[in-house]
Structure 1
Amino acid sequence: MAGKKAIVVFGATGSQGGSVARAILEGKDFSVRALTRDVTRPAALVLQDLGAEVVKCDLNDQEAVKGALKGAYGAFLVTSYWNDFSKEKEVQQGKIVADASKELGLKHVVYSGLENVRKLTKGKLEVPHFDGKGEVEEYFWNLGVPMTSVRVAAYYENFLNIWKPVKASDGDYYNLLLPMKDIPMDGISVADVGPVVASVFRSPEEFLSKAVGLSAEALTIQQYADILSKTLGKVFKDSKITPEAYEKLGFPGAQEIADMMRFYHMKPDRDVKLTHKLHPKVKSFSQFVSENKEAFKDL
């Protein structure tokens, strides 16, 4: 790794950060400084074995962040609203990294951002896990930090957890409870984010000061259901649930997900063609389901 420009990867033991760290290491263009709160975690040790420098760092600690970024060429930043369900905390973390990046003169930061839905819709919709990232994007650019925002589409992996198909009470089939009407919804596997980000780092002149919308493909909920049916040998259907019915489901975040779907109805910019150009092996939903049949078995 000696002599290579270093990319600092925040959240390197998480899904997105881990994908980015591995992809940059595989590309061999840069060295990787992988940041995590717990350097003894198995995921941290794996990155160390792959050649990353693993460093302990807490995103809430300004001095630790500054120390971790010292001497680096660039950084990949992903923040998580869901850890604390706090937009304010997420924005604060983003600003800490932006301030340190400006002070230390980083040449390229790639931020896992999203649109500020509240601002775009003049308060009609509120999606805090989008809105905070939108505020951070703006803060980076206003500070003059050389930054690219990658706005990632819905994860295919969501179909294994928060969007897990629900068995119908009145028949031998499964419902997909996603209030998208018949509007296509962009999707991508989180594992494919890393190779795209690595490509962005390799072409700074093309992507600095831009927002890049990532998507492997856009499908209607019935098309997602048809792929699940064909691959898993069970019947899946679009439940046709409305956003109004969805927000009454009552689980934490139901209102937020309903508003996120309303925002998806507006077709935010996600560039399938560009995503495939940056990562030609990006997986389709069909490939993802085929590769994860075991994970879908416990439906």
Structure 2
Amino acid sequence: MSILVTGATGTVGALVVEGLAGAGADVKALVRTRGKRAFPAGVTEVVGDLTDVPSIRAALSSVRTLFLLNAVTPDEVTQALITLNLAQEAGVERIVYLSVIHADTFTNVPHFTGKHTVERMIESLGIAATVLRPAYFMQNELMVQQTIQDHGVYPMPIGSAGVCMIDARDIAEIAVAELLRRDRAPAALEALTLELVGPQAMTGASVAAAWGTALGREVAYAGDDVAAFEAQMASYAPSWLAYDMRLMLGGIQLHGMRAAEGSVERLQAILGHPLRTYEAFVREAAAGG
């Protein structure tokens, strides 16, 4: 029996595949196109699409544990619900689902509410799952690194309420730990929800300062104008995605993404090491690591 990893070529999914393979697990990596990414030896590449029912039925064959990761797409909910139904049909009892923090709070943000819908399906069907709810990924910052370096401006309007950004490597390590815990248990384990957060709450101003320190020159925060952000993003990305991100950033300004008491300590106990800090991430990125 194997562990099926969806989203296997993405930032988190690829790290999860590597971590599982390194731990000696039998891993299937779901991809849309064969050969897009080199996987570790022993990983089975499975071609399929989460809206193509026959391909997912085939992918779920001989699978005991599922890592469900959906990209932000207009049909994200359909993808997830089809996959979970097919997993139940195939007798898969052990699931780790990558959701998002505050999915039940950011109710006007399409991909947040979509993930909350999937969470409610998992709960209503009594699926034995770990729901991982990560905050904003530090790796999202790589999309604006060139702007920061070229213009000395941090352009993401994250505001001042505080965002406990988390490194994707920590997300993947926790996902691997939960997948192995469920996969190797003698029977299906109880449901569990984990909020995945970094060790410090960052603001637009403190993020700009961190980049300034790493680059050795002043970096300014561009401010809280989400409309300007949407317009800029829509110049190179689909308008629905730019608007979704605008709504998310508005929610971040209003609510923040802060760690609940005890979350950091709980995550560090799972990891066996401290969570990566934003400053360390920025130093690494600035050095080209």
Residue in 2 aligned with 1:211? Answer: 193
Residue in 1 aligned with 2:87? Answer: 101
Residue in 1 aligned with 2:265? Answer: 273
Residue in 1 aligned with 2:205? Answer: 222
Query: Aligned in 2, Cα 1:163/1:130: closer, same or farther, shift over 3 Å?
Result: farther
Structure 1 regions of 5+ residues with no counterpart? none
**8 Å CA contact retained: 2:129, 2:191:** yes
Residue in 2 aligned with 1:65? Answer: 56
TM-score (norm 2): 0.83
Q: Alignment RMSD, CA only?
A: 2.8
**8 Å CA contact retained: 1:246, 1:255:** no
**8 Å CA contact retained: 1:148, 1:207:** no
**8 Å CA contact retained: 2:138, 2:165:** yes
Deviation at 1:111? 0.9
Amino acid of the structure 1 residue aligned with 2:72: Y
After superposition, give the CA deviation of every residue in 1:254-276 in whole Å (9 maximum; x if it has no partner): 43223212323324564333332
1:160 maps to 2:145:
no
* Partner-residue secondary structure (3-state), 1:185: coil
1:258 maps to 2:246:
yes
1:290 maps to 2:280:
no
Deviation at 1:54? 1.4
Alpha-carbon distance in 2 for matches of 1:27, 1:250? 39
**8 Å CA contact retained: 1:222, 1:238:** yes
**8 Å CA contact retained: 1:33, 1:55:** yes
Structure 2 regions of 5+ residues with no counterpart? none
Query: Aligned in 2, Cα 1:163/1:294: closer, same or farther, shift over 3 Å?
Result: closer
Alpha-carbon distance in 1 for matches of 2:161, 2:257? 12
Amino acid of the structure 1 residue aligned with 2:32: R
After superposition, give the CA deviation of every residue in 1:98-121 in whole Å (9 maximum; x if it has no partner): 10121222121111112685x646
Amino acid of the structure 1 residue aligned with 2:136: A
**8 Å CA contact retained: 2:3, 2:63:** yes
**8 Å CA contact retained: 2:7, 2:71:** no
TM-score (norm 1): 0.80
After superposition, give the CA deviation of every residue in 1:110-162 in whole Å (9 maximum; x if it has no partner): 11112685x646xxx52112221221221222222212211122121222215
Aligned residue runs from structure 1 range 1-299, under 5 A: 5-28=1-24, 30-41=25-36, 43=37, 46-47=38-39, 49-82=40-73, 86=74, 89-114=75-100, 120=105, 126-162=108-144, 165-166=147-148, 174-204=152-182, 208-217=190-199, 218-243=201-226, 246-247=229-230, 251=234, 252=239, 253-264=241-252, 265-268=254-257, 270=259, 271-279=263-271, 280=273, 282-295=275-288
Query: Aligned in 2, Cα 1:115/1:215: closer, same or farther, shift over 3 Å?
Result: closer
Amino acid of the structure 1 residue aligned with 2:286: K
* Partner-residue secondary structure (3-state), 2:63: coil
Query: Aligned in 2, Cα 1:155/1:120: closer, same or farther, shift over 3 Å?
Result: closer
**8 Å CA contact retained: 1:17, 1:194:** yes
Query: Aligned in 2, Cα 1:99/1:240: closer, same or farther, shift over 3 Å?
Result: same
After superposition, give the CA deviation of every residue in 1:221-244 in whole Å (9 maximum; x if it has no partner): 222222211112121122332446
* Partner-residue secondary structure (3-state), 2:27: strand
Deviation at 1:17? 1.0
